[in-house]
Amino acid sequence: MKKTFYFIRHGQTDLNLKGIVQGRGVNSPLNKMGIAQAQAFFERYNTVPFDKIYTSTLLRTHQTVQGFIDLDLPWEQLVGLDEISWGVYEGKEQTPELLSGFEQLVAAWRNGELDVSIENGESPNALMARQQIALDHMLAQTDEKNILVCMHGRALRIMLCLMTGIDARYMDDFPHTNTALYKLLYDNGQFEIIDHYNTTHLEALINE
């Protein structure tokens, strides 16, 4: 059974711009640029015959694919697609102290310490456990061949590791920006990235 997955990160939010930590526990809307990014993605990819849309449970992913939802395509929210929980950092500005904590955390992850998390937050291994449930659900739908998935930056990096079998310590090797696309082919039980970090739909916005 072959499937083609289009994974994108949500559009920009004001909290992205302000450097405020927004994980699973912060439900912020898109800003003007985020709406423009979502529209640019829709204009480029609305001719793809998507069978299903999957998003996280958070508003910023819903708004990013609203154009496709408005086409009356089937849509399902999965908690397994929610962003990682940043625990006590959620909703806080990135002060020098907080940034230092982030740097230590990311260094630990890069060192393979994938059970480490922010206080009251999630570790990569905990996130992958709920992502696996979401992934198994999407793969089990035999009538869905072209699938659009909108999720979150850190979660997407970790999901790409999960799908391709790359050790999650290398998650930061996958670049991401708002509405950047990773296209994957699923065939014979294996995922292959066939379009890596595609941002061509954003060129007009960047050049404005």
What's the predicted TM-score (pTM) here?
0.96
pLDDT in tens, 80-117: 999 999 999 999 988 899 999 999 999 999 999 999 99
Whether residue 51 contacts residue 120, with contact meaning beta carbons closer than 8 Å, is answered with no
pLDDT in tens, 41-60: 999 999 999 999 999 999 99
Share the mean pLDDT of the chain. 95
- Distant-in-sequence, close-in-space partners of 161: CB < 8 Å, separation ≥ 6: 128, 167, 168, 170, 171, 174
Phi, psi angles (nearest 5°) of residue 154: -65, -40
DSSP string, 105-125: HHHHHHTT-TT--STTS--HH
Cα 75 to Cα 83: distance, rounded to the nearest angstrom: 18
Residue among 185, 146, 183, 148 at smallest CA distance from 53? 148
The predicted pLDDT at position 1 comes to: 84
Confidence band for 207, pLDDT divided at 50, 70 and 90: low
The predicted pLDDT at position 94 comes to: 83
Whether residue 64 contacts residue 8, with contact meaning beta carbons closer than 8 Å, is answered with yes
Cα 203 to Cα 77: distance, rounded to the nearest angstrom: 29
Cα 157 to Cα 153: distance, rounded to the nearest angstrom: 6
Whether residue 64 contacts residue 179, with contact meaning beta carbons closer than 8 Å, is answered with yes
Tell me what the mean pLDDT of segment 15-28 comes to: 88
